[in-house]
């Protein structure tokens, strides 16, 4: 998901992951440090999709364009929400939603062809102290309204 302050789509600007290396966003883009978590996964998926040469060139362009790296996507949300930067192109929806609930002037939008959808999974743990809670969670997660909310 792309995260924006004063959404670019409202001005007719399309934002995808490769947009972060464009001159118009110099010094206005923040990402979670791509060594861990979903940002690392997203970077590796892009490498697979684009091939090593294109991906490496893109990473060099990000660096040359002054993309800021921070400790995590929740920090990205705060920086974008305060208007310190304009874009957070790899921010997860589970980080965007609390920012929206807290009234931050942000908008999340899908990254189009470069989007990474990470499905949630869960599994019961044998011998857990509260097996009923796990079963209840599984049942609630499987109702049609929840399945449509993806």
The pLDDT tens digits of the residues spanning 33-44 come to: 999 888 898 889
143 has pLDDT over 60: yes
User: Average pLDDT of 14-19?
Assistant: 53
Give the least confident one: 5-9, 55-59, 72-76, 142-146: 5-9
Whose CA is closest to 68, among 29, 37, 41?
29
78 has pLDDT over 50: yes
SS3 category, 28: coil
- Are 4 and 87 spatial neighbours (Cβ–Cβ below 8 Å)? yes
CATH architecture under which domain 2-114 falls = 3-Layer(aba) Sandwich (3.40)
C-alpha–C-alpha distance, residues 89 and 1, integer Å = 6
C-alpha–C-alpha distance, residues 117 and 58, integer Å = 21
- The residue behind tokens 């660096």 is 63
SS3 category, 71: coil
- What are the structural domain ranges in the chain? 2-114, 121-150
User: What pTM was estimated for this model as a whole?
Assistant: 0.70
């Amino acid at each position: 998901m792309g995260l924006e302050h004063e959404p670019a789509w409202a001005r007719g600007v399309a934002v995808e992951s490769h947009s972060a290396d464009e001159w118009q966003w110099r010094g206005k883009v923040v990402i979670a440090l791509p060594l861990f978590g979903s940002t690392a996964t997203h970077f590796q998926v892009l490498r697979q999709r684009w091939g090593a040469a294109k991906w490496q060139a893109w990473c060099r362009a990000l660096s040359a364009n002054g993309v800021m790296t921070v400790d995590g996507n929740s920090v990205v949300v705060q920086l974008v929400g305060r208007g310190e930067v304009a874009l957070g192109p790899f921010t997860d929806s589970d980080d965007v939603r609390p920012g929206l609930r807290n009234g931050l002037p942000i908008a999340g939008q899908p990254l189009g062809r470069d989007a990474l959808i990470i499905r949630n999974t869960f599994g019961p743990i044998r011998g857990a102290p509260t097996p009923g809670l796990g079963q209840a969670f599984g049942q609630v997660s499987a109702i049609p309204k929840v399945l449509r909310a993806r």
